[in-house]
Amino acid sequence: MKKEIISTDKAPAAIGPYSQAVKLGNLIFTSGQIPINPATGEVVTGGIEAQTKQVLENIGAVLSAAGTDFSQVVKATVFIKDMNDFAAINKIYGEYFTSPCPARSCVEVARLPKDVGVEIEIIAVLPE
């Protein structure tokens, strides 16, 4: 199988030696997305809810560029700076993922890029 790099200007550009996503066969692997507005290059303001929404909008743009969407996500990994934000993050997350929901891990971490409160990466499949 040949891997294909997925890229879109509707999500923040990679700022290091990585790609927004990689397609391998019918699988899509995204890099972690943080709450950067792709139009401005700045971290969004407005608290953890606004940050989570921007992260998921960025993921949606990458999924769309790959030819898939949230309904095809099989695994999500959520990194959060403060586990006390879990309920707020989970509420926004639930607006993007409906039953049957993907598998998910959630990990509290010491620090995230640009000191944001949340980062999410996913694995999705292409629709049949």
List, by residue number, the catalytic residues: 106
Structural contact between residues 28 and 68, judged by C-beta atoms closer than 8 angstroms? yes
Q: For residue 27, is it left (φ>0), alpha (ψ between -120 and 50) or beta?
A: beta
d(CA 91, CA 73): 18
d(CA 53, CA 66): 20
